[in-house]
Amino acid sequence: MLSHEPRRQFLKNIAFTSAAFSTPGLMAEELTRTARQAEGPFYPDKLPLDTDNDLLILNDSLTPAVGTITHLTGRILDLSGSPLRHAVVEIWQADSAGTYLHSRSNQKGRDRNFQGFGRFMTGSNGEYYFRTIKPSKYVGRAPHIHYAIYQGGKRLLTTQLYVKGDPQNEEDFLFREAQTPEARATLVTDFTPIPESRMGELAANWDVVIGRTPKDPERT
């Protein structure tokens, strides 16, 4: 059996191949900035000991989280399309039961094998990668994944990613805060089956476009 680190690198290579980076419009003068979204009430109030980019496996556990395995990739770009190197990408999301890693989220039935939060530092091309689950139903909200982007210790952007084509999106009060079709288009991406995957894995590729000037308040 592969150790965790080689296994995760192997999975990362598969994901990058299956969902190759593409950024439509890079030759344009300016990209469309990814719409801002609220942080929400469930940013972890106690971070897990394991904060890596594989949310399916906790530390040395052999039991994976419940949910549809998703390889989530993309790049962090500025408005000109240039990559942001050494930016820290954080994601957090509810487990398959709709429970967050937060004391105020109903912990009954929480998937104890789901990490719920992860971090990744971008490379020279601004790329990031997470292995997680497809976002699940959550009471009063469309399925979504929370994002926070930092550089130099400053939070540059807080936003949320939604499943493209999910009928709940248009009923979601936060999704509707992005008032124009162009703004809403920056918040969604396809979750596409990976060919030949025997486990029904998905690939999702989402580029995040931000300015270089910090706009969001730092966490206290």
On whether the CB atoms of residues 121 and 88 are closer than 8 A, the answer is yes
Rounded-to-integer distance, Cα 28 and Cα 36, Å = 22
pTM metric for this prediction:
0.85
pLDDT in tens, the chain (220 residues): 334 444 455 455 545 544 444 444 444 468 999 999 999 999 999 888 899 999 999 887 889 999 999 999 999 999 999 999 999 999 999 999 999 999 888 888 889 999 999 999 999 999 999 999 999 988 889 999 999 999 999 999 999 999 999 999 999 999 999 999 999 999 999 999 999 999 999 999 999 999 644 444 445 3
Beta bridge partners of 92: 117, 146
Q: Diameter of the chain by CA atoms?
A: 50
Instruction: Show the domains of the chain with their CATH numbers.
Output: 4-209 (2.60.130.10)
